Every structure is written in C-alpha cells, then in structure tokens.
Amino acid sequence: MKEGHHTLHKVTLHVKTDLKDGNPQMWDLIAYRVLCSTYHHAGNEWCICLTHGFVYCLCSFVEVYRLVQWEHGRLSVTNTILSKYKLLNLHERSFIMLLDDPCLYSFLELRRCGVPPQTINAFMREFGVITLKSTTKVVCLESHICGCLNEIAPHIMTIVNSVKVVLDSLSETHFEEIELPFKLLDSSFRTHKGSFACILYVNASDFREVDSADHYRLALNKMVGLQGIAHLIVCTKVRKNADGSIVNLICRLLNEDKQFAATAAGKEELVQQPTSHRSADSVAKQKAIIKRVSIDQIAFAPVAIAAFFTVMGAMEGKSASEIRNSLCDRYPKALVGNYMLWPWSQLINFGLVPLVYQVPFASMVSVFWNMYLSWVNHKREVRKISD
C-alpha cells in the first residue's frame, strides 16, 4: 500500500478488532486507505492515508500549526427553530420562502433585522459557553437586544394605539417648532425637530378616566407635562362615541411659567408625571417609613432586648433573682444602644436601600448588634468575676 501497488478503493487496512468491547468504534477500525496525493514533506512517496478522523490529511498543517477544537452545548432558544436540517425541511415544504427570512433566528436573519453584533456576542458569552443540554428563554435574547440598542441607537417616540388630544386654549393656526433629543441626558446623540400645535396624540394606555395613586400619566382633571414643552396641560373633558370608545380628549394648556423636567424613568413616554404629584408621593412615603420605624422601636425593640437577656440568663443556669438583677444592670444600657443604632439604620434601609437588598442590609446590621449585646453581657460577667 505504501509503495503504490494498490489503486484507490481496492484495499484497506483494518486493525485488530474486539467485538466484545463496549465502544462500537473498536469493532471494526479502518487504519489506512490508499490515497495517492502530494504531501508537503513526503511528496509523492506516501501513498496511504490514516483515516482516523481524517487527521492525516491535515498532517502538513499539524506540523506547523497547533489546531484547537472548541466544544460547547447547543444554544437552544425557546419559540425558535435553529436546526439547519429543520429549517431546510421547512423551506423544501414551502413553509418559509427564504432561508434568510427575518422571522428566523440565525445569525444572518438577526443581522438583517438590525441586531448589533455586540448583542449576539454578549448573549453568547452569558448563555452559549456551556456543555449542558439546556434551553434559554427568548426573552433573554430580547433583553440583550434592548439593552444594546438603548446604548447605541437614537430614541424616536412612536404611538401604536393613539388617543387624540385637543388643546382648546390654543388656536387652530398655532404652530411651534420644538427641539427634542434623540436620547435624554446624552448630548452625543444630538437632537431633532418636532412640532407643537393644538392637536396632539398620546398612547391610549397613558390615559385613565379615574386617577389612582400608582398612575403618573394623564387622567381627567389632572395636570401633566409634555416632553419638550415648558408648560403643563390638564384634561377637562372626554368625548366618546356611542359605543363608549374615546374620540378625543379636551385639554387646556396652563400658561403659568412652570418649567417641567422629564425624569429618566419616563423619558421615552410622551406624557410625563408632574413635579407636584411626585412631591406628594414622596411625602406620603416618608410618613409611612417613619410610622413603620416608630412602631418597631416602641413596641418590639424593648420586648426583644428583655427577652434576649432573660433567655441568656436561663441558658446560663441562673436563678430568677439573678436574671432580674441582670436585667436591672444591663437592660438600660442595651436599650440606649438600640435607640442609637436601629432607628437610623431602619430609616436608611426603608428609605434608600432597594427592596431586594433590604433584608441583607438588616441582616448585616444585626450581626454588629448581636456582637454588641454579647459584649455587654460578657463585660458584666468579667467585672463580677474580677470583683
């Protein structure tokens, strides 16, 4: 075989097999086959080829480069079909017209839909390099797309389900050109021109006939601000069809010189929350926090401290009189320390710390508080022994 006495496809060399082996690859291994080809080093003198994984065909490159093979699990995404064979089957059965249809979720289709490459790379870094068979929710990919586009793409507002707003305090010929940023708080995206007239449009979901504490948009007899407009508007009347659907909203432009700054939380919405409404909500929240902390420190803190020293004394084997003397000696100092630490910690926790971190924050403060109580208890015992 090596010297070229056999032609292609005539003979092959098999290795000694083991039919009892659990690995099917060991049942009938083909070691060499005839291949008259020119190699980088041997030239035409080598007429056989190692067939195991077609490695020998790449021997010239192996001697120069070190090949690396990366293995990772298949990145399956919910509500999608990513298999090339299944996509080809859909195409052959005319369910899809083109293999690069934008509705598909391959790299080419995602790029055609405008998905930036850094979005795909970030998604692969987070979910792709795994060896487990798993399925990733499509909302994770959509979250990466939105996060990336929020940083690199200009923001242009649009309305899908609109409601007409008529400003009756403005004339029909009123026209004012306003300048709107492509992205709030980022001047690098520049600005674009917009128009302000007596007729506007807002999202239907941004209007409620009955206002509530959790609604910061337009409502009947409620003042709100418009992005890019220095004045506030108030809805005074709602016009409806016979079937109850809203025809338009009659609003009045407040001509008082009240500047309104759009907040980051509602920067992409046309209708914004007025400053006075936000101030009232902030005051109500502060009152609720003070009430909660007061109840905790007046009703529960004194009882909890007394219970701590009582239980500690009982576990140490003290008598009832000794526990009573211990309370008289240690309770006042511990209570003062409690009022020096916990009210301020709770105010910070409820007022500034996000909800998901409030429990860890309280637990961290509790560690130092328990250390202080143990120190008070131990200090009195050491003083008693020294005396």
260-310 tens-digit pLDDT: 333 333 333 443 333 444 444 566 677 778 888 888 888 888 888 888 888
Show Cβ contacts of residue 178 under 8 Å, excluding neighbours closer than 6 positions: 193, 194, 195, 196, 228, 229
With residue 62 as reference, give the H or E element that holds it: helix 59-62
Tell me the backbone φ, ψ of residue 276, rounded to 5 degrees.
Answer: -65, -35
Sequence-separated (6 or more) residues with CB below 8 Å from residue 11: 1, 34
The answer to whether residues 163 and 204 touch, using CB atoms and an 8 Å cutoff, is yes
Contact 154, 183 (CB under 8 A): yes
The reported pLDDT for the residue numbered 237 is 92
How far apart CA 31 and CA 320 sit, in angstroms, is 90
Specify the pLDDT at position 128. Answer: 65
CA distance 197 to 336: 64
- pLDDT tens-place string over residues 115-142: 898 888 888 888 766 666 778 888 888 8
The DSSP call for residue 187 is: G
Backbone angles phi, psi at 236, to 5 degrees: -110, -20
